[in-house]
Each structure stands twice: as structure tokens, then as C-alpha cells.
Chains A and B, each alone.
Chain A
Amino acid sequence: MSTSIKRKAALCLALVMTGSMLSACGNSDSGSGSASNSNETTAAATAADNSSADADTALTGTIKVLHHRTDRDQDGTMAKLTEGFNALYPDVKVEYQSFTNYADDIATMMQSDNYGDVVMTPQALKQADLPNFFASFGSYDELSKDYYWLENYSVDGSVYALPTGGTASGILYNKKVWADAGITELPKTTDEFLACLRQIKENTEAIPYYTNYNAGWCITQWQSLVVGASGDPDFNTKLLTEKTDLFSEGSAYDAVYGTLFDIYADPSLHEEDPMTTDWEGCKPAFAQGKIATMVLGSWAISQFQEAAVQVGTDPADVGYMPFPNSINGKIYSVSSNDYMMSVNKNSANLEAAMAYAKWFCTDSGFAQNEGEISGLKGAAMPATLSSFDELGVELFVENPCPDELVGKWDEIAKTSEVDPWGDASTNYKFRMAEAAFQGKDRTAYDEIAADVNAAWNSTRDSILG
């Protein structure tokens, strides 16, 4: 696929949002059962059959779809999608409107009743407020048989958003550079991971780890590793029920951010000046083997492969591995949803809008084309994650949290301003990174960790009682 400069810019912005979008997914202790890599093709087939059978060719009207993928509007992907939809519903006219600053723009539009017919569900909206804005797709009990990640988008047993796709958490690496450095086996522990980075520094010309620190959202990608590093689908719920500290010796947070601190604190392991990095520029640099490793969600794989094609290197060198925190010898990774899709409850063509959203999330093939994990239970894993199979990684989905705790995690995160998914300039991730960049030692890390624990714990106790 070729990429114009204009589109790259749009893509970058879309990604910034993908980054922040990922933020909501881990938030509220969600997930529906365990998703392994094995294919339950029957369930997917059933879901597909259902939606096709529901097709009501008599539907008419014009619907407006608001979304964040400006790049896909520009390259005609969306228009092509409409053709597929119109094959089933010939009399429904679909219009698209995309926003580079989607998350803020949609929030502003939702102050009125006029926010399109079908929208990408805004991440900042509280779960309990969903019914104020969106129409229900049906009961959770029914729909959760077919779709992942509905827990965070259900209120009183009704579902208000369907998944457009999802991503796995892990680390992007350049296979060729890693092999050139003489690494034959992927790391199984964080210490091995650090040793690999040092080996890359010694044996190759590449920058072992690229922080991309200037693009503030890049560091939030580390947060997506946390639940995977815990290996526990109930990790976030337990933070509330067992009232454990976020940071303690050997906790998932400690494993992830301790590694971050160690890498950032060693000037030989990352780029020279973290404040003048460039997200768009890092893609070709990675493809050319100038950068060895970056922590990014699996959504990034396809973009780096596109960059490889552009600069004429082998896209197959773009490798993806889980965060190497072995628990009893096994490595885990968590999958979480990308933007979800909802229908404006004030829509004049509610049925057509519903039909479109269901079709988009079920039959459009959008997630597959983007290299994302399908939101449909049992659909095949994308080829981009093939390395997970090879490593025997267990990819899981978070379990739903008990009803009485719905929204509490988010509330604690925002009220305490600890905001694990956030990228405010006061966030602990930035504080840790900057302490590391300035060459401070682990005591600085411990102090920040203690601050985080104190802020989180006192807010948690005042909210949960």
C-alpha cells in the first residue's frame, strides 16, 4: 500500500487517538471469558448468519457516520465499505464525516442532539451515561455470545456499543536487527529483555529502544502491557476488591514501569534527545533497521509494514512479541477493544443506523483489513500476531468486574489524577521517564511509585468506602 504524505499525517492523528482509545479499554476490568488463539469458527459463522438473516432490504433513509479514521475516508476505504452495505440495504444512503481530533469534537457535538446517526463511541464517556446518548443493540446475554469487550459498554443488561476491532499488547521489534545482534531466542524475562537491548547496542548500529517521547501518547502504550504482565484476567478487579497497591515489589506495574525506568535511565539504550523525536519519521527508520525495538499495541504492525514496503525493506521483518514477564514459565498478553460503535438514540433513521452499525462490526471485514483482532468471538487471529502462536503466548481478555464496581476504576483513576492510561504532563509515567532521563537512580523511581500508591489508595478508600 502506498501512502501519501497527507494520509500519513492523518494516520498519525488517527493513531494518537488509537493510543488514547486504548486507554479506556483496560480501564474497567472488562472482558468476556477467555479468548485463546484457537478458532471457534462456528460462533463467528453463527454471528454472521444472524446479521445477514436480519437484513431488511426495505430500510430507507440517509445515515451519517461520524468516525476518527480520516485516512480511511481519504483513501476511499469507507466509500468501498458502503458498497458492501448497500448490497444488503440498497435504499440506505450512507454519509461519512471524519475528524482528526475526534475525541474532543464528538464530546462537543454531544452537547446537542445532533451528533450523526452512527458514531465511534467516545472513550471519555462514563459507562453509566451511555443510555443518555445511545440506543441499545439488545441484551448483553444474547450479544455477548457473539462479541468480545461488551462489558464496558453495557448498562442494566443492555448493550450500547459493538466492537469495531481490537488489539493485543506487546513489543514491536525489527527481526533482522535482533538477529544481526546475535539474538536467537526471544527474551522470557524482563532482565533478558534488557540484556537483549544491550546486546543490540554492542553488536549493531541501531538504536536499541526508541522512546518516541515527544509524542506524549507513545508512553501510554506501556500501560497496555500491565494486565498482560500480570497474567490475571481479574487483575484490575482485584485492585479494587483486594485493595492491593499498584506498585509493590514484583507487581505487574512494577515489572512494566521498572523496565521502562531501566531502559530510559541508560542513555546508550535509547535515542539521544527524547524531546525531538518524530512519530512519522520513526516508521521508515524502524523499517530500515535504524531502530530495533518499541513498545506499541498490535495496531501499529500494519503501519510499520506499510513503511517497510515504502522504503523497500522486507515487511516480514516487522516482528511482534509479548512483554516478557513470565509467570511460572508462561507469557501472557491481553487483548482489548479499539473504538466501539454506537447509534445516536435521537437518530431519525434509527433502524437503518442500527443495521449499519451491526453490519460494520460483523460483516464489513474492517477489522481484518486493518490487521486488528476481530470483535467477533471465534474469528481467526490476524496474521500480524502469528509470533504469539509460535511462542505459545496465552492471549486473554479481561473478565468483567462485578456490577457494584462498574465505573469505579475509572472514577478512582481520574479523581486521584493517577490516571494510568493518561498522558497529562503531571502523569507518573512522565515523571518516571524524566527522572530516568536525568540519570537519577532507583530511589527516584521508588519515590514516584510511593506517590502513586498514596494518591490511588486514599482516593480508592474514599470512593469505595
Chain B
Amino acid sequence: MQKMLTVCLFLLVPTVLLVTFTYIPAAEMFKYSLEERDQFGVNVKFVGLENYKTVFTTPEYFAAFKNSLYYLAGSFIQLALALFLATVLCSKIRFGNFFKGVLFFPYMINTVAVALIFRRFFQRGDGITNTDGTLNSIITLLGGDPIKFLSTEGLVNICLVFVSIWRYIGFDLVMFIGAIQSVSPDIYEAAELDGANRFQVFRYIIAPSIRPIILLQMILAVKGAISVYEIPFIITGGRFGSSTFVIQTTETAFKFQKVGLASAMAVVLFFIIVIVTIIQKLVFKEEK
């Protein structure tokens, strides 16, 4: 009885927080998606599925998902890179902990700060009001011509994906390192005795044992690619063809005052992510 009470008390705080800040707003959002309403919530009109109809009949809204492909490609590069680095860092190398810290550090920096750093990094100066940023300075030093990274369509998305990889690789890395270290050292020792090389260790020991974590990271990567928001929003504001579905959703709500429609877009995004996750789960289950 006493134990039950303790458990309940401990669960109370997170449950209350979760319900207050996640479930109630989510339920409200679902309700909003069936209404025509503005930011102030006056003159609310129930319109049924009208908003959903608009979302699905406006091709422009889905065109933004095209940019998600950049991020999706980027997130797989990020996963591969993180896996590689995690494997290296888990072997006996000097200053291993130092490098772990260095690689994890960007994940702890506020996204706004990251955005400001990289705006400066990619800057193309005019020599009158501002000078070239880090990247263009290096290019000039090597004898190349400076590039307008952020105001060239296409290139801007690649730059943003790069920022995104830099920012989030630390998280993947920590997850992989944790998983790799949970494998018993005895197995490694046995492999070493049997004369397995580094690649074989990775292929036959590390990869199979951290498979669930890799799958989880892949699901998160897809989810992240579909719902990219803050990095493009802060660095470019979605201009030069760098807009994403979430940027369009916020603009629909707060620039066009169509909160109902924007809520419907958010609900659609939610279901897209759920569906993608289910498909992914099914595909990988069959593989087994």
C-alpha cells in the first residue's frame, strides 16, 4: 500500500505535466482543426472536415515536403557518420573522452545561437558593409571564387542540412556509444583472440547488437526530416526555396490568421509521421 502510494506520488508530477502541456493542447489542436478560427479565438465556426479538404487539395502545401528529401538524405549521412565515429571512439584511442565531448557539444548549443554562428559562417560579404564569412575566406585563401551560399536556390538547402548534421550528430553519437558500450567486453576479447579485424568486429558484433538503436535512430531521422523547422526558419526564414511543411504551418496560423487550417496541417503531419513509423516497423520486422 505504502509502495503504491509512493509510486503514485512520483508519477503524479510527470503525468500532470504531460497532460497539461502535451495531451490537452494536442486535443485542443484536433478540435481547432475542425473549426474556422483566428489567433484570438473569436467568431469560431465549426466547419467539419473542410480544413482537411483544403490541405489535401492544395498541392503547394505538399510541395514543401520536397525539401524534406534533402534533410532525409542528410540524416542518413549523419547516422552513418555517427556510427563510424562512435565505433572509433569506443576503441582504445587517446583523448577519446575529449573527442566525445567535442562532438557532443554542438547538441547542447541553443539552436538560435547555432543559426547565428552559421549565418556568419556562410556569409558572402560585399567589402563595404560586411566582409566574407569563414567559409568564403577559406575559399578565397585557396584561390577560389566566393559563393553566395545562402542566396542560391538548392545550395541553400544543402547548407542548412549541413548545419542540421553538425547540430544533431552529437545526439546520435551518444546513443550509439551507449549501445556499443553495453556489449560485453568479453565478446570483443574473444573476437580479438580469434583474429577478427576491425571491420569484422563491427560487421558481426557491433552492428547486430545495436540494431534496435539504429532502427530507433532511423525512425527519429525520418521524423526529423519531415518536421524540420527551426534551423531553416531562423537562418533563411524559408526563403530561396528553403521552406518546409512546418514553416508553412506556422505561417498559415500566424501570418494568414488561419489557425483552424494550420491545426489541420499539424494533424496531417502527425498522421504522416505515425504512418511512416508503422511502415518502417513493418519493413524491418519482415527482414528478421
Sort chain A's interface into a size bin.
35 or more
- Closest Cβ of chain B to A67, distance in Å, is 18
Instruction: Give the residues in chain A near B129, CB-CB below 8 Å.
Output: 207, 210, 271, 277-278, 281-282, 285, 290-291
Q: How far is the CB of A82 from chain B (nearest CB, A)?
A: 29
Q: Please name all residues of chain B whose beta carbon is closer than 8 Å to the beta carbon of A275 when the two chains form the complex.
A: 148, 150-151, 156, 236, 239-240
C-alpha spacing A206/B127, complex, angstroms? 11
Contact A426 B257 (CB under 8 A): no
Contact in complex: A276, B124 (CB < 8 Å): yes
Q: Which residues of A contact B127 (CB under 8 A)?
A: 272
- Taking a contact as CB atoms under 8 Å apart, the answer to whether A216 and B239 are in contact is yes
Residues from chain A with Cβ under 8 Å of B120 in the complex:
276
A276/B128 in contact, CB under 8 A: no
Distance (Å) between the CB of B58 and the closest chain A CB? Answer: 10
Cβ of A272 and Cβ of B257 under 8 Å apart?
no
Q: Are B130 and A281 in contact (CB under 8 A)?
A: yes
Residues from chain A with Cβ under 8 Å of B237 in the complex: 216, 425
Complex interface: stretch among A57-65, A123-131, A167-175: A123-131
Chain B 212-234 residues near chain A, CB threshold 8 A = none
A391 and B128 alpha carbons, distance in the complex (Å): 31
Which residues of the partner chain A approach B126 to less than 8 Å between Cβ atoms? 207, 271-273
Could you say which residues of chain A place their CB within 8 Å of the CB of B153?
Answer: 434, 438
Binds B, one of A143-151, A239-247, A414-422: A414-422
With A216-B239, A272-B125, A276-B123 already in contact, the answer to whether A110 and B40 are too (CB < 8 A) is yes
State the majority secondary structure of interface residues on B: loop
Interface residue from A107, A210, A417, A430 paired with B239 (Cβ < 8 Å): A430
Give Cα A275 to B150, complex, Å.
6
In contact, A273 and B123 (Cβ under 8 angstroms): yes
Is the CB–CB distance between A276 and B122 below 8 Å? yes
Interface string of A243-278 (1 = CB under 8 A from B): 000000000000000000000000000011111111
Selected from B38, B130, B239, the residue in CB contact (under 8 A) with A425 is: B239
Query: Which residues of the partner chain A approach B256 to less than 8 Å between Cβ atoms?
Result: 414-415, 417, 419, 422, 424
- CB contact under 8 A between A424 and B251, given known A107-B39, A124-B40, A129-B40: yes
Q: For the complex formed, measure the closest distance between the CB of B159 and the CB atoms of chain A, giving whole angstroms.
A: 10
For B38, list chain A residues within 8 Å (CB). Answer: 124, 126
Nearest residue (CB) in B for A111 is B41
Asked if B247 contacts A437 (CB within 8 A), the reply is no
Q: Which chain B residues (236-270) contact chain A, with CB distance < 8 Å? A: 236-241, 243, 247-248, 251, 254-258
Interface string of A131-155 (1 = CB under 8 A from B): 0110000000000000000000000
**Contact partners of B239 in chain A: CB under 8 A:** 213, 216, 275, 425, 430, 434
Q: What 0/1 readout, one digit per residue, does chain B (187-229) give for beta carbons within 8 Å of chain A?
A: 0000000000000000000000000000000000000000000
* Contact indicator A437/B151 (Cβ below 8 Å): yes
A278 to B116, CA, bound (A): 11
Q: Mark A91-128, 1 if CB is under 8 A from B, else 0.
A: 00000000000001001001100000000001011100
Query: Which residues of B lie under 8 Å from residue A430 when comparing CB positions?
Result: 239
Q: Across the interface, name the chain B residue whose C-beta is closest to A125.
A: B40
In Å, the complex CA distance between A124 and B119 comes to 30
Question: Which residues from B are CB-within-8-Å of A276?
Answer: 119-120, 122-125, 130, 133, 150
Q: How far is the CB of B47 from chain A (nearest CB, A)?
A: 14
Tell whether A423 is near chain B: CB-to-CB under 8 Å.
Answer: yes
- Cβ B255 vs Cβ A419 within 8 A: yes
CB distance from B246 to the nearest CB of A (A): 12
Q: Give the residue among B41, B126, B156 with the most A Cβ atoms within 10 A.
A: B126
Closest residue of chain B to A276 (Cβ to Cβ) is: B123
A-B contact pairs, 11 of them (CB 8 A): A104-B254, A107-B39, A213-B151, A213-B239, A273-B123, A414-B257, A424-B251, A424-B255, A425-B239, A425-B247, A426-B248
